[in-house]
A and B are shown apart, each in its own frame.
Chain A
Amino acid sequence: MSSSFSIYRVGISFVITCIFYKSTVDSLPELSPQKYFSTLQPGKASLAYFCQADSPSTSVFLEELNKAVRPLQDYGISVAKVNCIKEEMSRYCGKEKDSMKAYLFRGNILLREFPTDTLFDVNAIVAHVLFALLFNEVKYITTLEDLQNIENALKGKENIVFSYVRAIGIPEHRAVMEAAFVYGTIYQFVLTTEIALLESIGSEDIEYAHLYFFHCKLVLDLTQQCRRTLMEQPLTTLNIHLFIKTMKEPLLTEVAEDPQQVSTVHLQLGLPLIFIVSQQATYEADRRTAEWVAWRLLGKAGVLLLLRDSLEMNIPQHANVVFKRAEKGIPLEFLVLHDVESIISHVENNMHMEEIQDEDDDMEDPDSDILDIQDDEVAETVYRDRKRQLPLELTVELTEETFNVTVMASDSLVLFYAGWHAVSMAFLQSYIDVAIKLKGTSAMLLTRVNCADWSGVCAKQNVTEFPVVKMYKEGKNPVSYTGMLGTEDLLKFIQLNRISCPVIITSIQEAEEYLSGELYKDLISYSSVSVLGLFSPTMTTAKEDFTEAGNHLKGYVITGIYSEEDVLILSNNNAATLPALLLARHEEGKIESILLSTHPEITVENLPTYLRLQKPLLILFSDGSMNPQYEKAILTLAKQKYLDMFTPCWLNLKNTPVGRGILQAYFDLVPPLPVLVLVNLHSGGQVYAFPSDQAITELNLISWLKKLEAGLENPISKFSILFNTYVESQNYSVIYGLQNGCCVSRRDNINLVHLHQSSWVTRYTVNEQLYFERKFFFSINVLSSGFCCSALFIRHRQSKLSIILEGPRIFGMVNEYHWLHHVSFQL
């Protein structure tokens, strides 16, 4: 039994996984109205979403619609997104962006229109579409009278599948609709969302969706009621399918062969078989008993009458019941049971044990503790690193008492942090690294203040956020460090602060040494450029401005000022007119007049600087150093002003391995390297790849760029809102709201989707079904706002793909916060 159960579970997840992954592959066709209507085939159903051509290309609805493409195709229904363009307006194109609707056609006849908010997710889409198509097959009723009328009409003719779901559009509804699609011609499907109706036919646990099989075909006497069998499993497509299949089986089968060899549909469906052992003498009575048992176990087990007399094998003398489990290899159980109840309870207990065991498994499911999953990389890494001892003694811990004395006594760098603040603690590691590097060499004292302890000190130093680094020289006017929170940049800041900028240069020779890097040899490695301001002695304002700028840049670049009488010599030498700024880039050993390189290597550290240029990036991804031919080609093009619109740059995957992640995002698979891409960050977010079959030469590049300009190239990918971090975080958060009492895998969106709807259903449908449909996303939002809703949920297993709210009786019982919860939903 257990193995077959798990087979189904695998089945379920497999089906869903397929749907899911396929749907991401099967994309939604986008058509113009004219094109769309020309594709409609007579008798074929089609769902079309009409939207303005300029509307955002992604939305929740479109994502969900995209997911629905595949499942609907399985039912022969095509799905399309129709872009309303000005030239060919259709009457289905709404006037405004937000009044767009989806329309269901059969052939070119409009069957129904759906406001997009009723189609809140893939389940709703499938459910609604099938509901509309199966209008005749599935009767929607609201009163007991309706039900009785249908029942009476079908007595002796047809069986009925009656189901109650808590709302239209939820997964259970979809499951019923999918079953109706298959079995709708064989059975009459009846659907209701009225809880009162369910109550009136005597159901318990009315919070759940219910499905009954009404055995009306057998009824001959019209005054007689149809027998009903309740499906006890949760309403999923698979469960309904299994249930209906067992209903089709004959109630009781007579066999006269070895029970080991007997196989019926039940076994294939994972249900056990009960053999009632009969003898010729008691045949009539046995048959009656067996029928009685069979009715009771309908849908749970197969019941057979085993005729002992004509059997060749040996059955223990007293055994009157044989129990055969669905799992292979498990021996038959020969039982002595004296009444019907014990047979039934034997079957049910055996199933029940199964479930208990199941639950235990779930308890150990590591994913169930979603609540505890940290999704903040900084917080998580710092937490995992908490036990490592840092050499904190290399920095001086300051307190309320020692702070002022220390910063007055020596030049000090102070890190203000909080022990519980993850980003602070991550940076503290870099800070300690700086201390290690500077150990014994620097006059600067590295200190730290834990603001969690010394909040007074931090408040006095005007520290309102963490982490903050300030440099105190002679205890006065502290300078805040505004560079990257990392070892290298901070080290650079400390080193460059050793000299006071701007440096006043007093002779031509000194100026030459300054520019050549001789003057501050030991500091040159920390400053990418040296700036020299040349002013004639009379340019007072300009000098002041420069001095101020130099002060400002202190710690980031070296600045110097020269304004002696003979300054003209220097400016003439460098072909500049006064006032002039000379920039010396030391790594290349030459003096340049622009700050940013023409073809820089992009790194994690310098990207923000280049992004500020607001130009598309033309990036060559290279594994290792760059091909010199390519560089030559680019530099030539740059000189010829072909690249003025772009920021040409390259990325060395050896230095910046995260580049692989970027390539993967662009191409799915990392393409052969090097690869040249144009990334249009600031408008649209398209990425274009230089054709991999062409050599990167000047000519090819020019023609490619021209094609791009003319719009003749298709982007390989578009930055998607799908990949927006907001969304990711939203997912997790939604889980959080839900996770109280339920288990979800963070990485499993399927479950998430299911959880979303089903968890809300109860509250809503009990009261107001429409409300639920319209405000679905709102409710999610409320739900996910960290409401503590544990008591409202009962934990449900992942495999069952649903979660259930623990009924209205919880409200008002424990705490007013329940009410808060309740009321917020009705806002």
Chain B
Amino acid sequence: MGLSAAAPLWGPPGLLLTIALHPALSVRPAKGPAPAPRDYCVLGAGPAGLQMAYFLQRAGRDYAVFERAPRPGSFFTRYPRHSKLISINKRFTGKANAEFNLRHDWNSLLSHDPRLLFRHYSRAYFPDARDMVRYLGDFADRLGLRVLYNTTITYVTLDKDRQAWNGHYFILTDQTGQAYRCSVLLVATGLSVPNQVNFPGSEYVEGYESVSVDPEDFVGQNVLILGRGNSAFETAENILGVTNFIHMLSRSRVRLSWATHYVGDLRAINNGLLDTYQLKSLDGLLESDLTDLAIVKDHEGKFHVTLKFFLEENNTNQSADSITLPQDNSDNFAMRVAYDRVIRCLGWNFDFSIFNKSLRLNSGNPFDTKYPLIRASYESKGTRGLFILGTASHSVDYRRSAGGFIHGFRYTARAVHRLLEHRHHGAAWPSTELPVTQLTSAIVRRVNEASGLYQMFSVLADVVLLKENASAFEYLEEFPVLMLPQLETLTGRKARHGLFVVNMEYGKNFSGPDKDVFFHGRSVGYTEDAWQSNFLHPVIYYYRQLPTEQEVRFRPAHWPLPRPAAIHHILEDFLTDWTAPVGHILPLRRFLENCLDTDLRSFYAESCFLFALTRQKLPPFCQQGYLRRQGLASTQSLRQHGVESRLLRDYAAMGRHLEDSSQRPGNHGPVGVPPDPGPPAPVQSLDSNKEEL
């Protein structure tokens, strides 16, 4: 078995899959000569796995993707059960900017190939899951990603080796017993284990993963659905018209995504039941902790809801008809009807089973089994070199941002790749170095087009690292914001002279399951109210030095970042177009100027000329443009506007005025008094201000 390393990696698909090896056979890695280590192993050829593969491929790295199915995206062949994706496929935005359009494309993966955009695969706003399967297949094929299909990794363990990048290799064993050694393991297996709650009678419950999707099977039935997420409502939506009624039971109140601004909460497309519930139909929502409940089956095969407590009381008698039901004590108990079916739609958990304990993927806490334990850098807390990608990495921003969904994790995969490129290949985090005169426009540009910032708001943020004397800056895109304290080691960039963080945020008190998001005055329109902006808007944080881990850990509740030295909200915009010269750009520029003690205005060459001969220190725009013989010439029309706005002076007219007055002898009055004398004696100067600081 160990010799099979030489066997073709692209093993024939098909029947081999059905050879079910007993798991016990493969719990230990095969002994024998260790196979040559691969640099990167990716588990799972779903969207996250393929996305990572794409970046590794583009960087020319040694990698392989392991996929147990014969094609990518096997999850989507079964789920969602009713086949309708709730990720929007917005094909038209009225904009040509491809990066901007990704803000409204929730299905595409990132690539350089414009043909690999999901809008070419489906015309539906909420597309069919089969289109996703087709898309992922094309993505893998067209880009030539190295995926080992029909390879089920059944066991993952560590092999300590001081030579290895991380001090150990990951040993992956597949269903044939074939072992693979990997320096870095990227787990993109998603959440694949249906979440089950154990309570007496849970054996009567059908699961979302297997319940019938044919409405005919539910005709005239009383249905109880456990759970209140999208899968629960999706199931309800399908059978709403044929059942007698549907009751939906969950621990906590329904969370509407439009109120929480979290795409994982209940989407409006699935919320038909809410509508009928509130419009006095028979359907309804109830809240109760499932672990307190029990379900008993009566002699007719119908299900009754009771309390676990009652079962324990008369432990001896298990006959359904003799068990106390809540309605026996309280005759108006809401769930006193008998149900024909009980369906469980309680979400999914990560499959920990294939990972050896030594990987320490979970905390061991039995209540904490949904997600593996990871850092904000998506690296496992227990094992260096093990990264979790995709849906399984959603613990970082669960119920906050989009990291559990394609439109979010495509960016976190890129961030992880950038971290790896620096860690193992000495390639610093990509950045653009620009003079400080470009700072305002660099930020304006990103907040207006960047899709990663927009989708992964408050998780990934742009970082502007200032150079000495704030004369220039480096612009780093989409850095995992909570890793800020380790920025220097993670990116290979230096943050010695202060930094800005460009983040996107909703208003602090705007989102929540119980919030009215349509209240009057929910949005603000004046710059002075920008900090009260509620809808997603850019927020700029200024730090004089990198925040420490302490500061990040003990940041104020609900804050994406620790308290900065200064903060600026760019006023929310109905069109998410933050380019208004006075409403958006001007306040931003002044904020930056104040943080940096500099003047970021732009000037025409003529103004720079005047400054050059009358001032010792020129604004950066003149220094970096005019003095390098790249001044900005004005045109007649612009000059005229300048004079009208009193920002420019009409020196020629001043000359004429001078001539007029000089014709009169003895006229020593002020000549050519400027329309705007400017501040005659400014209040404070830059230098002394610095001293004070």
Q: Which residues of A contact B (CB under 8 A)?
A: 20-21, 23-24, 56, 58-61, 63, 66-67, 98, 117, 121, 371-372, 374-385, 388, 399-400, 418-423, 426-427, 429-430, 433, 451-456, 464-466, 482-489, 604-605, 607-609, 611, 617, 623, 653-654, 656-662, 664-666, 669-670, 672, 679, 681, 685, 719, 721-734, 736-737, 739-741, 747, 749, 752-753, 756, 775-778, 780-782, 784-788, 790, 814-817, 819-820, 823-824, 827
Secondary structure type dominating chain A contacts: helix
Chain A residue with the shortest CB-CB distance to B582: A372
Is A117 within 8 A of B448, CB to CB?
Answer: no
User: What distance in Å separates the Cβ of B499 from its nearest Cβ neighbour in chain A?
Assistant: 14
**A453-B95, A465-B441, A661-B651 in contact; A423/B683 too (CB < 8 A)?**
no
Is A58 within 8 A of B685, CB to CB?
Answer: yes
Q: Is B6 an interface residue (CB 8 A)?
A: no
Q: Which of B509, B531, B641, B648 has the most CB of A within 10 A?
A: B531
Is A815 within 8 A of B532, CB to CB?
Answer: yes
Is A429 within 8 A of B595, CB to CB?
Answer: no
Query: 4 new A-B pairs (CB below 8 Å) besides A384-B641, A433-B635, A487-B635?
Result: A665-B610, A730-B597, A785-B565, A790-B528
Measured in the bound complex, the distance between the Cα atoms of B542 and A728 in whole Å is 22
Is B528 within 8 A of A788, CB to CB?
Answer: yes
Measured in the bound complex, the distance between the Cα atoms of B649 and A156 in whole Å is 65
Q: Is B681 an interface residue (CB 8 A)?
A: yes
Q: Which residues of B contact A (CB under 8 A)?
A: 95-100, 114, 432, 434-435, 438, 441-442, 444-445, 448-449, 508-509, 526-532, 542, 556, 558-559, 563-569, 579, 581-582, 585-591, 593-595, 597-607, 609-619, 625-635, 637-639, 641-642, 644-645, 647-649, 651-652, 654-655, 658, 662, 668, 670-672, 674, 676-689, 691-693
CB contact between A660 and one of B568, B655, B685 (< 8 Å): that residue: B655
Q: Which of A421, A426, A725, A736 has the most CB of B within 10 A?
A: A725
CB contact between A60 and one of B625, B652, B688 (< 8 Å): that residue: B688
Cβ–Cβ < 8 Å partners of A740 in chain B: 528
Is B594 within 8 A of A786, CB to CB?
Answer: yes
Cβ–Cβ < 8 Å partners of B590 in chain A: 732-733, 736, 784, 786
Is B441 within 8 A of A816, CB to CB?
Answer: no
Is B597 within 8 A of A608, CB to CB?
Answer: no
Is A827 within 8 A of B680, CB to CB?
Answer: no
Measured in the bound complex, the distance between the Cα atoms of B606 and A292 in whole Å is 70
Is A724 within 8 A of B563, CB to CB?
Answer: no
Is A421 within 8 A of B604, CB to CB?
Answer: no
CB contact between B619 and one of A121, A658, A726 (< 8 Å): that residue: A726
Cβ–Cβ < 8 Å partners of A371 in chain B: 526-528, 587
Is A788 within 8 A of B654, CB to CB?
Answer: no
Is B614 within 8 A of A374, CB to CB?
Answer: no
Q: Which of B559, B594, B679 has the most CB of A within 10 A?
A: B594
Is B647 within 8 A of A375, CB to CB?
Answer: yes
Is B645 within 8 A of A61, CB to CB?
Answer: no
User: What distance in Å separates the Cβ of A796 from its nearest Cβ neighbour in chain B?
Assistant: 15
Cβ–Cβ < 8 Å partners of A786 in chain B: 566-568, 587-588, 590-591, 594
User: What distance in Å separates the Cβ of B644 from its nearest Cβ neighbour in chain A?
Assistant: 7
**A456-B99, A669-B671 in contact; A726/B614 too (CB < 8 A)?**
no
Measured in the bound complex, the distance between the Cα atoms of B383 and A516 in whole Å is 77
Is B568 within 8 A of A785, CB to CB?
Answer: yes
Is A422 within 8 A of B615, CB to CB?
Answer: no
Measured in the bound complex, the distance between the Cα atoms of B588 and A377 in whole Å is 16
Cβ–Cβ < 8 Å partners of A723 in chain B: 614-615
Measured in the bound complex, the distance between the Cα atoms of B689 and A56 in whole Å is 13
Is A662 within 8 A of B614, CB to CB?
Answer: yes
Measured in the bound complex, the distance between the Cα atoms of B682 and A353 in whole Å is 37
Cβ–Cβ < 8 Å partners of A781 in chain B: 594, 689, 693
Is B638 within 8 A of A385, CB to CB?
Answer: yes
Measured in the bound complex, the distance between the Cα atoms of B679 and A749 in whole Å is 7
Cβ–Cβ < 8 Å partners of A685 in chain B: 615-616
Is B680 within 8 A of A24, CB to CB?
Answer: yes
Is A726 within 8 A of B597, CB to CB?
Answer: yes
Is A728 within 8 A of B679, CB to CB?
Answer: yes
User: What distance in Å separates the Cβ of A787 from its nearest Cβ neighbour in chain B?
Assistant: 7
Is A376 within 8 A of B95, CB to CB?
Answer: no
Is A726 within 8 A of B686, CB to CB?
Answer: yes
Cβ–Cβ < 8 Å partners of B532 in chain A: 788, 814-815
Is B681 within 8 A of A381, CB to CB?
Answer: no
User: What distance in Å separates the Cβ of B397 from its nearest Cβ neighbour in chain A?
Assistant: 20
CB contact between A604 and one of B601, B618, B631, B689 (< 8 Å): that residue: B631
User: What distance in Å separates the Cβ of A61 from its nearest Cβ neighbour in chain B?
Assistant: 7
Measured in the bound complex, the distance between the Cα atoms of B691 and A278 in whole Å is 68
Measured in the bound complex, the distance between the Cα atoms of B306 and A70 in whole Å is 89
Is B638 within 8 A of A725, CB to CB?
Answer: no
Cβ–Cβ < 8 Å partners of A739 in chain B: 528
Chain B residue with the shortest CB-CB distance to A774: B692
Measured in the bound complex, the distance between the Cα atoms of B634 and A482 in whole Å is 17
CB contact between B638 and one of A426, A728, A782 (< 8 Å): that residue: A426
**A681-B613, A733-B590, A777-B689 in contact; A670/B672 too (CB < 8 A)?**
yes
Cβ–Cβ < 8 Å partners of A823 in chain B: 563
Is B686 within 8 A of A63, CB to CB?
Answer: no
Measured in the bound complex, the distance between the Cα atoms of B530 and A605 in whole Å is 41
Cβ–Cβ < 8 Å partners of B444 in chain A: 420-421
Is B630 within 8 A of A63, CB to CB?
Answer: no
Chain B residue with the shortest CB-CB distance to A823: B563
Measured in the bound complex, the distance between the Cα atoms of B692 and A724 in whole Å is 18
CB contact between A482 and one of B530, B630, B680 (< 8 Å): that residue: B630
User: What distance in Å separates the Cβ of B687 from its nearest Cβ neighbour in chain A?
Assistant: 7
**A67-B681, A429-B637, A455-B97 in contact; A824/B563 too (CB < 8 A)?**
yes
CB contact between B652 and one of A23, A484, A609, A657 (< 8 Å): that residue: A657
Cβ–Cβ < 8 Å partners of A382 in chain B: 581, 638
Measured in the bound complex, the distance between the Cα atoms of B565 and A56 in whole Å is 29
Cβ–Cβ < 8 Å partners of B645 in chain A: 374, 377, 380-381, 384
Measured in the bound complex, the distance between the Cα atoms of B629 and A483 in whole Å is 6
User: What distance in Å separates the Cβ of A534 from its nearest Cβ neighbour in chain B?
Assistant: 28
User: What distance in Å separates the Cβ of A24 from its nearest Cβ neighbour in chain B?
Assistant: 5
Measured in the bound complex, the distance between the Cα atoms of B114 and A379 in whole Å is 35
Measured in the bound complex, the distance between the Cα atoms of B679 and A719 in whole Å is 15
Cβ–Cβ < 8 Å partners of A730 in chain B: 593-594, 597, 682-686, 689
A-B contact pairs, 26 of them (CB 8 A): A59-B688, A63-B682, A371-B587, A374-B582, A376-B589, A378-B601, A379-B601, A384-B645, A420-B444, A423-B632, A452-B448, A453-B96, A482-B629, A484-B633, A489-B633, A657-B655, A660-B672, A665-B610, A685-B615, A721-B616, A724-B615, A725-B617, A726-B685, A733-B590, A756-B683, A787-B531
Is B685 within 8 A of A724, CB to CB?
Answer: yes
Measured in the bound complex, the distance between the Cα atoms of B677 and A817 in whole Å is 37
Cβ–Cβ < 8 Å partners of B672 in chain A: 660, 664, 670
Cβ–Cβ < 8 Å partners of B635 in chain A: 426, 429-430, 433, 487
Measured in the bound complex, the distance between the Cα atoms of B606 and A433 in whole Å is 19
Measured in the bound complex, the distance between the Cα atoms of B678 and A375 in whole Å is 11
Cβ–Cβ < 8 Å partners of A609 in chain B: 629
Measured in the bound complex, the distance between the Cα atoms of B644 and A819 in whole Å is 42
Is B679 within 8 A of A747, CB to CB?
Answer: yes
Is B681 within 8 A of A722, CB to CB?
Answer: yes
Is A399 within 8 A of B96, CB to CB?
Answer: yes
Is A784 within 8 A of B594, CB to CB?
Answer: yes
Is B607 within 8 A of A377, CB to CB?
Answer: yes
Is A420 within 8 A of B579, CB to CB?
Answer: yes
Chain B residue with the shortest CB-CB distance to A382: B638
Q: Which 8 A-B pairs have CB atoms at the shortest separation, nearest pair first?
A: A486-B633, A788-B531, A786-B591, A785-B566, A420-B579, A657-B651, A777-B692, A729-B599
Is B638 within 8 A of A381, CB to CB?
Answer: yes
Is A827 within 8 A of B634, CB to CB?
Answer: no
Cβ–Cβ < 8 Å partners of A400 in chain B: 96, 98, 114
User: What distance in Å separates the Cβ of A288 from its nearest Cβ neighbour in chain B?
Assistant: 52
Cβ–Cβ < 8 Å partners of B569 in chain A: 788
Chain B residue with the shortest CB-CB distance to A371: B527
Is A785 within 8 A of B603, CB to CB?
Answer: no
User: What distance in Å separates the Cβ of B653 from its nearest Cβ neighbour in chain A?
Assistant: 8
